[in-house]
């Protein structure tokens, strides 16, 4: 079976999670779950493999094939490893459309794969928090998902100096562009693509692209002024737009609920995908070193329509990758010492004490809720202590023949180096 | 985007997890994590995709290709979706062999795929608990993993009438077969394959297979007698075998620690795979309707050797699939009512009360740790109550203009139908 050439490295763009890495993930996913469940979001999941058709129907054949790991099964089905969760959840809602109890408040933290060049914040395998509300097409649902994003970050101790939710509205965008430029729906869509790329290209290129669409320099100047307006100035330009009304309702509610300090109106937020129809938002890391979108989302009203022609279940939601969240938490120093919070006791052993006595002692400790194990290796006492220190144990329990006979155990605190002799019946008091 | 032919069904052999399904999984995986962490097992994970080579090196090309979903990436790498965790964890140990602090007590609950015909208890996508100890080659590690399996089941309320751990030892098996039949290593291995299939073929076919290997009817009768012996009778047939010593040490320790009632010596336990070297075991559901192995595992001493020629890190562990566990829990009625244990409050709304007041009320409830949300839909009061009942809410909070003005809220318990008027400052007492 031996093969010296077998690599020990994980596949390109993927990560191994050793226990210390996993402890960090479990901590932050745990906090996310807790925060969302407290707000009555329910967790769901779907298979890692879906029919490739699902992604083609949503994003077109080229993007779907380019972006996914896809392959044929032996039954000739064209499959893909999910690159995102939205098509799966739309499929699940469509499958039980008549039975479900709307509005649905759902979330998931699935692993997924995208075929792309690995870079900072972007890997081939990642986990993505998905939060969605289905079956409510008014501002209350938009407010609820935005509040959940804010509360997730606040649960880690983040405040308004560390992140901001940048909010726009696609209906407002289309209407105000039409008002300024006289464009039709398709024209406004083309302008949105240019605005979406604005920060990635030079000013010259931006202006040139606009001019090529027939947008004059004067019109460009009017669009420019929207980037510095607040939401009330901006929507006043286009008071009859349904999008303006949605923005005003949302921002009024953000203000009334004390959430406005975490939010800002940003006319540059487009979200590339065509399926967004109303509110769109991105949550930015305010650290200038790391100033990028961590979450992105918005309202999409027709995804379930992929599955049933006349179906309409409106949705609003967002996705957040684990890699960007981890970067945010680390760069803002929001990760506490994850070891040392809870007791973790290594029961050391001596050869002259029958082994079952150590098992009985760990059983007592575990019954008290104290994480513990007997040292099961063969090293001498001093090395057992070294093992405990290296493995983040907080205490060692020492029980030789004398202690056993006396119903006692020595407990050494590895941080303070203090050693106490404790009656076994009183271990519960020691580890209170 | 509309396409009436897009199926809403998940891919063959996979499952959608709607919130009620996910609640069950989170409950049982949570209990497993809690039990293992209490025993100082640390969680890890690895990528879902690995190099196909990894599975070929362990199981041979035919099995690896047959059993996995495998495909080429655009860089010409032959990849597979993991069908099991052992090769990944062996790779991870090999990658940091010199740095790790042995013995390692590790576990993981990854999702994985096997290309096989879906049937009861066996699906194409499943989750599998993997528990392993690396770097300890004595019986204490075998005892520790077996104890962890027993404790996982006990954590669900299962007792010795519901499951049994069937234990054998590959070294003992080989030695006792050699003693009875005079076989060499290869001959004993061939006998083990026949014994492994014993319950799947007729007695006639079993005898015929044995005879073909040159095993006489008298020798078969001697082997038969091993199936009904206890471990001490059996090992007495072969007292000098290292495997006999291991079995006796393990069973002595099981007896001394009170775990023997959950265990039984079973000469028929082989575990098909050739890499097992010592203790092997399977945990059986004792329900005659469902009498099958739920966990399987054992000692394998050379897996890290796949990666580095002279490396040796011994391991012992087991895997348990989520589907068989769920069948076990359901058939033994070990799943409690997962709703109704915790408060879940729907704050109903009236149009004449400004919305931010409802947000303020849910914020107060969440600050008390009470799961709650405002009803964000547009239905009338009666329908809001119906929504709450259907969605497993335990209480509704009702706040009209009068209650708001009086700093009060009506709380209705949906189980008892009792309604109380509670001062908002005293909600903490109500939901204590």
A163: nearest Cα among A346, A324, A362:
A324
What DSSP string runs through A82-106?
-S-SHHHHHHHHHHTTTTS-SSEEE
- Supply the mean pLDDT for chain B: 93
Q: Which of B16, B25, B391 sits opposite A101 (nearest CB)?
A: B391
Cα B312 → chain centroid: 27
A349-377 b/e with 16+ CB inside 10 Å = b? beeebebbbbbbbbebbbebebbbbbbbb
What are A70's strand-pairing partners?
A80
Q: Where are the domains of chain B?
A: 19-46+82-331, 344-430
The Cβ of residue B429 has, within 10 Å, a number of other Cβ atoms equal to: 10
C-alpha to C-alpha distance for A308 and A327, rounded to whole angstroms: 40
A71, B71: Cβ pair inside 8 Å? yes
| Nearest one of A189, A171, A177, A167 to A222, comparing CA atoms | A177
ipTM entry: 0.94
* DSSP character at residue A288: G
pLDDT computed for residue B308 by the predictor? 78
Q: Check if A372 contacts B (Cβ < 8 Å).
A: yes
CATH topology of domain A19-46+82-331: BirA Bifunctional Protein; domain 2 (3.30.930)
Cβ under 8 Å to B: A residues 8-37: 8-12, 14-19, 21-23, 25-26, 37
| Chain B residue at shortest CA distance from A127 | B47
What is the Cα–Cα distance from B162 to B251, expressed in whole angstroms? 20
pLDDT, residue B289, reads: 80
Extract the tokens encoding B316. 């012992």
Q: Give the residue from chain B lying closest to A59, CA to CA.
A: B1
Superfamily of chain region A344-430: Anticodon-binding domain (3.40.50.800)
d(CA B211, CA B199): 17
**pLDDT tens track for B338-372:** 987 799 999 999 999 999 999 999 999 999 999 99
> B142-156, B291-305, B395-409 — which is least confidently predicted?
B291-305
- What pLDDT, on the 0 to 100 scale, is given for residue B4? 53
Residues of A with Cβ-Cβ distance to B306 under 8 angstroms: 1-3, 6
What per-residue confidence (pLDDT) applies to A2?
Answer: 44
Least confident of A345-359, B263-277, B318-332: B263-277
Q: Does A91 touch chain B (CB under 8 A)?
A: yes
Element (H, E) at A278: strand A276-285
**A 374-393 near B (Cβ less than 8 A):** 374, 376-378, 387, 390-391
Within 42-61 of A, beta carbons closer than 8 Å to B belong to 42-51, 53-54, 57-58
- Token pair recorded at residue B146: 């077996």
Tokens of A320: 């957040």
Q: How far is CA B33 from the centre of its chain?
A: 10
> Measured between alpha carbons, how far is B357 from B348 in angstroms, rounded to an integer?
11
- Does B2 have pLDDT greater than 70? no
Helices B217-226, B170-181: crossing angle, 10 deg rounding? 150
Cα gap A141→A112, rounded to integer Å: 26
- The sign one gets for the Cα dihedral A200, A202, A203, A204 is negative
- The CA dihedral of B201, B203, B205, B208, to the nearest 10 degrees, is 150
pLDDT given for residue B287 in this prediction: 86
Give strand pairing partners of A371: A344
Cβ-based burial of B101 (10 A; exposed 0-12, middle 13-18, buried ≥19): middle
Write the DSSP symbol of residue B125. E
* Residue A312 pLDDT: 84
CB contact under 8 A, A38 and B10: no
Backbone angles phi, psi at B249, to 5 degrees: -60, -45
Q: A6 in contact with B at a CB cutoff of 8 Å?
A: yes
pTM: 0.94
| DSSP states along A24-54 | HHHHHHHHHHHHHHHTT-EE-B--SEEEHHH
Tokens of B259: 């775990």
Best residue in B4, B13, B15, B16 to probe A by mutation, most A CBs within 10 Å? B16
Backbone angles phi, psi at B258, to 5 degrees: 80, 10
Q: Which helix (H) or strand (E) holds B104?
A: strand B104-108
A128 forms beta bridges with: A321
Q: Do domains A19-46+82-331 and A344-430 have the same CATH topology?
A: no
**What is the torsional sign of CA B96, B102, B103, B106?**
negative
Taking phi over 0 as left and psi of -120 to 50 as alpha, with beta for the rest, A340 belongs to: left
pLDDT of residue B58 exceeding 90, the answer is no
B residues 242-261 lying closer than 8 A (beta carbon) to A = 253, 256-257
Nearest to residue B297, comparing CAs of B84, B123, B67?
A: B84
B101 vs A71, A101, A390: nearest CB: A390
Per-residue pLDDT of chain A (432 residues; tens, 9 = 90+): 444 568 999 999 999 999 999 999 999 999 999 999 999 999 999 999 999 999 998 888 998 999 999 999 999 999 999 999 999 999 999 999 999 999 999 999 999 999 988 777 789 999 999 999 999 999 999 999 999 999 999 999 999 999 999 999 999 999 999 999 999 989 998 999 999 889 889 999 999 999 999 999 999 999 999 999 999 999 999 999 999 999 999 999 999 999 999 999 999 999 877 788 999 999 999 988 777 889 899 999 778 888 877 778 899 999 999 999 999 999 999 999 998 779 999 999 999 999 999 999 999 999 999 999 999 988 999 999 999 999 999 999 999 999 999 999 999 999 999 999 999 999 999 999
Strands B125-134 and B104-108, sheet pairing: antiparallel
Contact (CB, 8 A) for A111 and A127: yes
Span of B29-33, B56-60, B421-425 with lowest mean pLDDT: B56-60
**Residues in B touching A42 (Cβ below 8 Å):** 19, 22-23
- pLDDT value at B406 more than 80: yes
Q: What is the pLDDT of residue B341?
A: 78
Q: Is A75 at the interface with chain B, CB within 8 A?
A: yes
Query: Tokens at residue A400, please?
Result: 């030789």
Which DSSP string corresponds to A142-188? HHHHHHHHHHHHHHTT--TTTEEEEEEEHHHHHHHHHHHH---HHHH
Nearest CA in chain B to A147: B359
B40 shares contact with chain A (CB less than 8 Å): yes
Q: What is the CA radius of gyration of chain A?
A: 28
Q: Which residues of A touch B21 (CB under 8 A)?
A: 44
Token code pair at residue A332: 């803002």
What is the pLDDT at residue B361?
Answer: 98
Mutate to test the interface with A, among B4, B5, B10, B145 (most CBs of A within 10 A): B10
Name the phi and psi angles at A6, rounded to 5.
-65, 125
Using the beta-carbon criterion (under 8 Å), do A38 and B75 form an inter-chain contact?
Answer: no
Mean pLDDT of B91-104: 94
Instruction: Please say whether the beta carbons of A83 and A67 come within 8 A.
Output: yes
The one-character DSSP state at A312 is -
Band of pLDDT at residue B1, cut at 50, 70 and 90: very low
Cα distance from B133 to chain A (closest Cα, Å)? 10
Please name the residue of chain A whose CA is at the shortest distance from the CA of residue B97: A8
Q: Taking CA atoms, what residue in B is nearest to A369?
A: B38
Contacts of A34 in chain B (CB under 8 A): none
Contact A38 B391 (CB under 8 A): no
pLDDT digits 0-9 by tens, B211-243: 999 999 999 999 999 999 999 999 999 999 999
Q: Which residues in chain B have Cβ-Cβ distances shorter than 8 Å to A387?
A: 101
What are the strands, taking DSSP E only, across B256-407?
263-265, 276-285, 293-300, 315-321, 344-347, 371-374, 395-398
Q: How far is A178 from A237, CA to CA, in rounded Å?
A: 11
Q: What is the pLDDT of residue A241?
A: 95
Between the alpha carbon of residue A222 and those of residues A162, A211, A229, A247, the distances in Å are 31, 14, 11, 20
């Amino acid at each position: 079976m031996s093969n010296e050439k077998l690599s020990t490295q994980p596949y390109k763009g993927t990560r191994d999670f050793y226990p210390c890495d996993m402890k960090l993930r479990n901590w932050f996913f745990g906090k996310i779950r807790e925060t969302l469940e407290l707000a009555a979001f329910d967790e769901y999941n779907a298979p890692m493999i879906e029919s490739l058709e699902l992604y083609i129907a949503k994003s077109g054949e080229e993007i779907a094939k380019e972006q996914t790991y896809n392959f044929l099964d032996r039954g000739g089905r064209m499959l893909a490893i999910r690159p995102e969760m939205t098509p799966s959840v739309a499929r699940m809602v469509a499958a039980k459309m008549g039975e479900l109890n709307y509005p649905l408040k759902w979330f998931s933290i699935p692993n997924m794969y995208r075929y792309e060049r690995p870079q900072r914040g972007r890997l081939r395998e990642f986990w993505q928090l998905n939060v969605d509300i289905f079956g409510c097409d008014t501002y209350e649902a938009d407010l609820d998902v935005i509040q959940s994003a804010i509360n997730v970050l606040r649960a880690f101790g983040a405040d308004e100096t560390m992140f901001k939710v940048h909010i726009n509205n696609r209906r407002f965008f289309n209407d105000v562009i039409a008002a300024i430029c006289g464009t039709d729906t398709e024209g406004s869509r083309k302008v949105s693509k240019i605005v979406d790329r604005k920060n990635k290209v030079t000013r010259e290129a931006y202006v040139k692209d606009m001019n090529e669409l027939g947008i004059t320099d004067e019109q460009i100047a009017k669009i420019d002024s929207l980037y510095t307006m607040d939401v009330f100035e901006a929507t006043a330009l286009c008071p009859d737009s349904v999008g303006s009304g949605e923005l005003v309702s949302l921002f009024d509610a953000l203000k009334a609920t004390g959430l406005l300090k975490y939010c800002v109106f940003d006319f540059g937020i487009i979200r590339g995908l065509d399926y967004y129809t109303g509110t769109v938002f991105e949550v930015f890391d305010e650290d200038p070193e790391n100033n990028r979108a961590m979450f992105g989302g918005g309202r999409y009203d027709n995804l379930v329509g992929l599955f049933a022609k006349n179906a309409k279940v409106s949705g609003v939601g967002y996705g957040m990758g684990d890699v960007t969240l981890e970067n945010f938490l680390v760069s803002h120093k929001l990760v506490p010492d994850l070891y040392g919070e809870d007791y973790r006791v290594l029961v050391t052993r001596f050869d002259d004490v029958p082994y079952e006595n150590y098992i009985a002692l760990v059983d007592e400790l575990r019954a008290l809720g104290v994480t513990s194990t007997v040292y099961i290796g063969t090293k001498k006492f001093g090395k057992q202590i070294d093992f405990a220190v290296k493995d983040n144990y907080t205490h060692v329990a020492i029980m030789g023949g004398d202690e056993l006979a006396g119903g006692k155990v020595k407990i050494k605190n590895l941080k303070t180096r203090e050693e106490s002799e404790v009656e076994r019946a009183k271990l519960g008091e020691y580890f209170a």
